Copies of this chain bind each other. A is one copy, B any other.
Amino acid sequence: MSRRPIIRIRVVLHEGAALGPGKADLLAAIAEYGSIAAAGRSMGMSYQRAWSLVDELNRYFRSPVVEATRGGAGRGGAHLTSVGREVLATYRSIEQKATKYCGAEVERLRRLAPPEGPDISAPK
Q: Is the CB of B112 within 8 A of A62?
A: yes
Copy total for this chain: 2
Which chain B residue lies CB-closest to A58? Answer: B119
Most chain B CB atoms below 10 A, which of A16, A62, A113: A113
> Taking the complex as formed, is A49 at the interface, i.e. its CB lies under 8 A from any CB of chain B?
no
User: How many residues of chain A are within 8 Å of chain B by beta carbon?
Assistant: 46
Q: Is the CB of A119 within 8 A of B6?
A: no
Q: Is the CB of A94 within 8 A of B106?
A: yes
Chain A contacts with B in 18-70, Cβ cutoff 8 A: 18-19, 59-62
Q: Is the CB of A94 within 8 A of B17?
A: no
Decide: A117 near B61, CB < 8 A? Known: A97-B101, A106-B11.
yes
Q: Is the CB of B93 within 8 A of A112?
A: no
Chain A contacts with B in 80-122, Cβ cutoff 8 A: 83, 86-87, 90-91, 93-94, 97-98, 101-102, 105-106, 108-110, 112-115, 117-120
